[in-house]
Amino acid sequence: MKFFISFFTSVLLSQTLYQGSLDFSYSGSETGSFSSSIEDTTSFGGALNLTLNDSSSFLMMGIAPRDENVFDLFLTILQDSTYPIQPRIWSWDISIADIADLIDDPLNLSTLSVFIPGLDSNFTNQWLTFFSDTSTISDSLSLDSLSSFFVENLLSDSYIATQGYIEINSIVDGTAIGNFNLTMWKPLFSFTNINNGNFNFVPVNTENLPNPVTLIGPADETVLTIDGDNADSQTGIFWTSSTNPGNTPVEYMLELIVENTGDTLDTALTSSYIFLEHQEFLDYMLDSEVTHLDIVWDVYTLGEFEGVESSNGPWSLTIDGGWALDVDNSSIPEVFVLHNSYPNPFNPQIKIPFSLAEGQNVKISIIDLNGKIINVLSDQYFNSGNHFVTFSDQKIPSGIYFININHKNGSETQKITYLK
> In CATH, what number is assigned to the domain containing residue 399?
2.60.40.2550
pLDDT in tens, 14-44: 467 787 888 999 998 888 888 887 655 456 7
Q: Are residues 250 and 309 in the same domain?
A: yes
* Claim to verify: residue 190 and residue 233 sit in the same structural domain: no
pTM reported for the whole predicted model:
0.51
Confidence of residue 77 (pLDDT cuts 50, 70, 90): confident
Residue 161 shares a structural domain with residue 288: no
Q: Name the residue type at position 300.
A: Y
Beta strand spans in 124-189 (E): 159-172, 175-186
Q: Looking at the domain assignment, is residue 331 inside a domain?
A: no
CA–CA distances in Å: residue 140 to residues 14, 60, 78, 327, 392: 12, 15, 16, 42, 49
Which one-letter DSSP state was computed for residue 346? B
Residues 32 and 174 in one domain: yes
Mean pLDDT value of segment 140-168: 68
Partnered with residue 185 across adjacent β-strands are 160, 191
First to last CA, the chain: 35
Same domain, 146 and 184: yes
End-of-domain residue from the set 256, 291, 325: 325
Domain boundary among 151, 179, 204: 204
Same domain, 215 and 172: no
Contact 202, 34 (CB under 8 A): no
- At 140 the pLDDT is 40
What average pLDDT score do residues 184-190 get? 76
pLDDT of the residue at 324: 58
Q: What is the pLDDT of residues 258-300, one digit of tens each?
A: 998 988 888 888 888 999 988 888 888 888 888 889 999 999 8
| Arithmetic mean of pLDDT, 92-111 | 65
The whole domain housing 41 covers 2-204
66 and 184, same domain (yes or no): yes
Split at pLDDT 50, 70, 90, the class of 347 is confident
Count of Cβ atoms closer than 10 Å to residue 273 Cβ: 14
- The rounded Cα 340 to chain-centroid distance in angstroms is 32
**Based on the domain organization, do 45 and 89 belong to the same domain?**
yes
- Per-residue pLDDT band at 178 (split at 50, 70, 90): very high
Number of domains in the chain: 3
The CA distances from residue 22 to 1, 187, 243, 296, in Å, are 18, 25, 30, 32
Last residue of a domain, one of 172, 204, 236: 204
Provide the H-helix boundaries in 31-117: 96-104
The residue with greater pLDDT, 402 or 329, is 402
Judgement on whether residues 76 and 185 belong to the same structural domain of the protein: yes
- 330 lies in a domain? no
Least confident of 45-59, 90-104, 318-332: 318-332
Do residues 42 and 149 both lie within one domain?
A: yes
Residue 151: how many other CB atoms lie within 10 Å: 17
One domain for residues 227 and 139: no
**Helices then strands, each counted (H, E), the chain:** 7, 28
* Alpha helices by DSSP H, 183-320: 278-288
Q: Are residues 236 and 305 in the same domain?
A: yes
247 has pLDDT over 80: no
In a domain, 332, yes or no: no
Question: How far apart, in Å, are the Cα atoms of 98 and each of 1, 104, 138, 181?
Answer: 38, 11, 30, 20
Fill in the DSSP letter of residue 312.
S
Task: Tell me the β-bridge partners of 176.
Answer: 171, 201
In a domain, 98, yes or no: yes
